[in-house]
Amino acid sequence: MMGWSEKDIPSQHGKRVIVTGTGGLGFQAARALTAKGADVVLAGRNPDKGTKALARIRAITPDAKITFERLDLASLASVSAFAGRMSDDGRPLDLLINNAGVAIVPKRQETQDGFELQIGTNHIGHFALTMRLMPLLLKARAPRVVSLSSNMHKRGTINFDDLQLARKYSPAGAYGQSKLATLMFALELDTQMKQQGLPVISAAAHPGIARTDLMNNGPAGQPVLQAVSHLIERIVGQSAAEGALPLLRAATDPAVRGGEYFGPAGCTEAKGAPELVQASPKAKDAAARRRLWQVSVRLTGTEMPIPA
């Protein structure tokens, strides 16, 4: 029996989708969803990359409904401006895919708002984006939010006493913290939606080891890390299209009810068809998730909109 594939994605006609990140997994998710009829907004920092991604998708699906919008997740002002533009026409938002990210930044960097770059981009920026777009999600019939974590979340720790890692920074530690935060957010969002009786489904996914340009998304100056990463990806990893399948299953499988975490089915979760996988005990810690939520609200100046 074959595993879940793009052929299993149901029709997305009539659905409005936002995907963050124009390369790698974001590109593949947007490509697959437009092929199924979705109206996709591809959001990213670099207009040139965005324009090229749109051209590639239209070469595959000439009638693709897809546009590019600039979004810098390392800037809360950019997040707010993007959400404002998306709200201009008042159209419901059916699906938000929080995919964009940076990884293994060798030296500590900060976002425009003073957050450590990896948690600032991967978690805090997406938290703010989700809260800003929540009114549009709540207008949709069956809204869904999917957040991209990583198997490295299992090595992460939320350093509540030094969340920005100002005292002690390591590239992998910062990445693990950011991806643990991403998964905790996805699980807590689903919990809060259910507690409030709201229709938004929140799920998460990780790509295993996929051949993407993630290592190129942070600051320059890490050619050795990039070379090692690309070698590992070639030897034990899978393509970006295959790596996007857990994300796409979390986003489109009608059986998803919220709180699920998808990843490759292989024993090491490096590659394979997308299946349900286990989050770490740290990610399931309800008290820590609530604490992270409260910290994120304070840092972003956003909170869950309460429907009238």
Q: Given a cut of 50, is residue 215 above it in pLDDT? A: no
Strand segments (E) across the chain: 16-20, 39-44, 65-70, 95-98, 144-148, 201-205, 261-264, 274-276
* Least confident residue range of 183-187, 205-209, 219-223, 239-243: 219-223
In the residue annotation, 261 being an active-site residue is answered as no
98: which residues sit within 8 A by CB, 6+ positions away? 20, 126, 129, 130, 145, 146, 147, 148, 182
Structure confidence at residue 231 as a pLDDT band (50, 70, 90): very low
When pLDDT is averaged across residues 267-283 and rounded to a whole number, the result is 93
Structure confidence at residue 213 as a pLDDT band (50, 70, 90): low
What is the torsional sign of CA 278, 40, 79, 25?
positive
Q: Given a cut of 60, is residue 124 above it in pLDDT? A: yes
Q: What CATH number is given for 12-298 in this structure?
A: 3.40.50.720
Q: Please say whether the beta carbons of 200 and 143 come within 8 A.
A: yes
Q: Cα angle vertex 76, ends 71, 77, to 5°? A: 75
What is the torsional sign of CA 281, 104, 129, 114?
positive
Host H or E run for residue 188: helix 171-195
* Least confident residue range of 67-71, 104-108, 234-238: 234-238
What pLDDT is attached to residue 304? 86
Q: Please say whether the beta carbons of 126 and 147 come within 8 A.
A: yes
What would the pLDDT profile of 19-44 be if each residue is shown by its tens digit? Answer: 999 999 999 999 999 999 999 999 99
What pLDDT is attached to residue 224? 47
What pLDDT is attached to residue 222? 54
Give this prediction's pTM: 0.93
Query: How many angstroms separate the first and last alpha carbons of the chain?
Result: 47
* Least confident residue range of 44-58, 97-111, 223-237: 223-237
Structure confidence at residue 305 as a pLDDT band (50, 70, 90): confident
CA dihedral 158, 26, 249, 144 (to 10 degrees): 70
* Least confident residue range of 131-135, 234-238, 295-299: 234-238
Q: Given a cut of 60, is residue 63 above it in pLDDT? A: yes
What pLDDT is attached to residue 214? 52
Strands 16-20 and 274-276: unpaired
DSSP state of 133: H
DSSP state of 307: P
Helix (H, G, I), strand (E, B) or coil at 107: coil
Q: Given a cut of 60, is residue 221 above it in pLDDT? A: no
- The C-alpha atoms of residue 116 and residue 166 are separated, in whole angstroms, by 8
Catalytic residue chosen out of the listed positions 4, 127, 175, 261: 175
- Residue whose C-alpha is closest to residue 103's, from 145, 150, 59, 71: 150
